[in-house]
Amino acid sequence: MLVFKTVRELQQFLSTVASNSIGFVPTMGALHQGHLSLIEKSQQQNELTVCSVFVNPTQFNNKEDLLNYPRNISADIQFLACFDCDNEEKRVVLFLPSENEIYPNKIEKNYDFGNLSLVMEAQHRPGHFNGVAMVIERFFDIVQPTKAYFGEKDFQQLAVVRNLVKQLNLSVQIIGCPIVREANNLAMSSRNERLTPEQKEQAANIYKFLQHAKQHAKTLTVEEVKNNFVDSIKNIPTLQLEYFEIADGNTLLSINNWSETNYCVAFVAVFVGNVRLIDNVTLHKD
Ligand code: PAF
């Protein structure tokens, strides 16, 4: 598999391959089955896939979280090697830039995503989406992808990226890919690596309670569904709820009545020990 560490090398390579379509899969490494689904989708839809591994410092509002973020580049390279990376019809190359390559001028940009940068993740991780937007704008500029792939686990991030593309009038098509879950239904995340087996079992309750919420959507009120979810999490002492929201899947504005939207999504952030996990489930989409 080809690995590029500088913008110049990558762009030189991209200018020599006669590829009609470039798929881009941005990651922060610690690759897992969720990333695999993004790369496979990109391989199906493009002749060339650029996968990046870059732990983006600007999107971490918490230094500790940045320090603890799992990094294992040799495992990531081994993981990517399973993808038939050098097959010319569905080639995958790795972009592994340093911080200097991505932020040579160290100039901070400021974005306004309206409500998307005020609620849920944005409220609890100030500056997070600004950092995501900075790195994604930079990556899109470097790679000039036809399509870019993002997991729906980071639902709000996906909405922010779509908004960024619209604001900047970019031609890249953003493809959202379904959440991939572990055998116990815990949403796949690089952060899961930091959970003990017991914590993983406890974290499986997050999805179980989201499913309860889905079952009772429309038969109970929004408030009752929310209260039930909060109470269920409280009964598991190792889980600390940060937020649980029921919101419109397009605007991410929280709702009080089911009739306010025909696309309704439940969003949750939970700490298991010091590991922060997020998940979401569509309650209804008519
Ligand atoms: O979802 C992630 O892993 C990151 O936020 C992303 C999209 C790679 C940007 O750093």
Instruction: Give tens-digit pLDDT for 189-217.
Output: 999 999 999 999 999 999 999 999 999 99
Residue-wise pLDDT for 271-281, tens only, equals: 999 999 999 99
Question: In the predicted model, is pLDDT for residue 29 greater than 90?
Answer: yes
22: Cα separation from own chain's centroid: 20
Q: Is the CB of 26 under 6 A from ligand 1?
A: yes
Nearest CA owner, ligand 1 atom 2? 27
**Closest residue CA from atom 1 of ligand 1:** 27
Contact 32, 74 (CB under 8 A): no
The pLDDT assigned to 19 comes to: 73
**What average pLDDT is seen over the chain?**
96
**Alpha-carbon dihedral angle through residues 261, 247, 110, 133, given to the nearest 10 degrees:** -90
Confidence class for position 159, pLDDT limits 50, 70, 90: very high
Residue range 99-113, pLDDT digits in tens: 999 999 989 999 999
Ligand 1 neighbour 232 (Cβ under 6 A): no
Of ligand 1's listed atoms, the one at least distance from the Cα of 132 is 9
DSSP 67-84: HHS---HHHHHHHHGGG-
From the CB of 189, is ligand 1 less than 6 Å away? no
Is 35 one of the catalytic residues?
Answer: yes
130 lines ligand 1 (CB under 6 A): no
Q: How many other β-carbons are positioned within 10 Å of the β-carbon of residue 183?
A: 7
> Where do the domains of the chain lie, and which CATH numbers do they carry?
3-177 (3.40.50.620), 190-281 (3.30.1300.10)
- Residue 59 has a pLDDT of 97
Q: Hey, which residues does 181 pair with through a beta bridge?
A: 187
Tell how far the Cα of 12 is from the centroid of ligand 1, in angstroms: 24
Whether 185 shows a pLDDT value over 90: the answer reads yes
**Burial tier of 156 (Cβ tally within 10 Å: 0-12, 13-18, 19+):** buried
C-alpha 136 to ligand 1 mean position (Å): 8
Phi-psi region for residue 185, left (φ > 0), alpha (ψ -120 to 50) or beta? left
Residue among 200, 182, 194, 180 at smallest CA distance from 34: 180
For 207-215, the CB contacts below 8 A with 24+ separation are 207/181, 207/279, 207/281, 209/233, 210/266, 210/268, 210/279, 210/280, 210/281, 211/281, 213/246, 213/266, 213/281, 213/283, 214/266, 214/281, 214/282, 214/283
> Considering only CA atoms, which residue is closest to atom 8 of ligand 1?
27
Collapsed DSSP state (helix, strand, coil) of residue 21: coil
28 lines ligand 1 (CB under 6 A): yes
